[in-house]
Amino acid sequence: MTRGSGKGESSISPGHLFLLSFGHKKHPLQKKESSLAMKIARQVPLHDKNWFRTGGAAAWYAEPQTPQEFADAIAFAHTEKLPIFPLGQGANILIADTGFTVICLSATILRCSVS
């Protein structure tokens, strides 16, 4: 991924998607090699993703469907030095309207552990 002006800004515009893929390279957080590609969206409003309908945009947003996609999203967060914000189903949370610079993971995985 290329960077913008050197101020930590991405060259990807709000609303665009890109595919996260580690190909056949093994990231330190991956347990096995993977060729999967997962969509991660940029500047996604969170007001429609929680029960109270509050919140601005998350800098990055992903909905991992498998434990491997979840691990890949965490690896992306570590690579980009982003805090991880687990959203789940969006219950019992108020999100600031100003938004925040995180990767928001809305995972519906019932059981997942990262070691």
> What is the C-alpha to C-alpha distance for residues 74 and 107, in angstroms, rounded to an integer?
12
Could you report the per-residue pLDDT of 99-110, keeping only the tens digit for each? 999 999 997 665
Residue 27 and residue 68 in contact, taking contact as beta carbons nearer than 8 Å: no
In this prediction, residue 56 carries a pLDDT of 96
Strand order in the sheet with 37-45: 17-21, 37-45, 57-62, 100-105, 84-86
Q: Where are the domains of the chain?
A: 17-105
How is domain 17-105 classified at the architecture level of CATH? 2-Layer Sandwich (3.30)
pLDDT at 14 > cutoff 60 = no
Q: Which amino acid is at 59?
A: A
- Its pTM stands at 0.65
In this prediction, residue 66 carries a pLDDT of 84
pLDDT at 96 > cutoff 50 = yes
| Greater model confidence, 60 or 35 | 60
Tokens representing 113 are: 């552990």
